Copies of this chain bind each other. A is one copy, B any other.
Amino acid sequence: MQEQRAVTRSERKEATRQAILDAALVLSADTGLGGLSLRSVAKAVGIVPTAFYRHFASIEELGIALVDEAFASLRKMLRDLRRDMDVQRVIDDSVAILARNVRERRGHFMFIARERVGGLPAVREAIRQELALFERELATDVARLPEMQPWTTEDLRVLANLIVGAMVETAEAIMTAPPGRPDIEREVVRTAERQLRMVVIGAANWQSSRDD
């Protein structure tokens, strides 16, 4: 019965590396990355503590790997967002896409939100850089919309910063709600939609009032 499965050594290594990342994501939800012990991760994965060092030199290095992994999925989200850049429906769609992604990758979002402000210094810095990059990408995407042509790059930067901030806050709000309560989440989503609408309308009017 035993099909010949060619499990190479590097495949095995990658598998336990991923298992470490997954376990760390779950365990750090309770304690934060800083309060996460190398031994508890090893126990959860099913390896001996010292084997951890075959994959990461420290918990901090593990954290940076988790930042990379989390922002890889965030970038997928930005691709979805970029696809339907319709000015009429962009707000509702964006919030919906954000909500869906938070729901599906709750662990990653919780990790980023938590370590962004409270994490180990190196991890915190890595997140800030990724978030700043994310913000710049969003700004250039928005700049392509025809009605944004008169905007200065500085104003676009401010707007992108505001939108990313609102995203982070909305993600935090969704995360705060218990996982199995779609009604609460829907309320958060509705609030976020209204707020983003306030922001966009305000930006447009403030902009036009500056033109004259």
Contacts and interface: CB of A to CB of B under 8 A. Distances in A.
Contact of A32 (B32, B158, B166, B204): B32
Interface in A57-108: none
A31 B124 CA distance: 13
| Interface size band for A | 35 or more
Contacts of A115: 118
Copies in the complex: 2
Interface in A146-173: 155, 158-159, 161-162, 165-166, 168-169, 172
Interface of A is mostly: helix
Contacts of A159: 198
B203 A198 contact: yes
A169 B117 CA distance: 11
A39 interface: no
B191 A201 contact: no
Query: 6 closest A-B pairs (Cβ-Cβ)?
Result: A202-B202, A118-B118, A198-B202, A201-B202, A114-B118, A198-B203
Given A32-B35, A201-B209, 17 more contacts: A32-B32, A35-B35, A114-B117, A116-B117, A118-B118, A158-B191, A161-B191, A168-B169, A194-B206, A199-B202, A200-B202, A201-B201, A201-B202, A202-B202, A202-B203, A202-B204, A202-B206
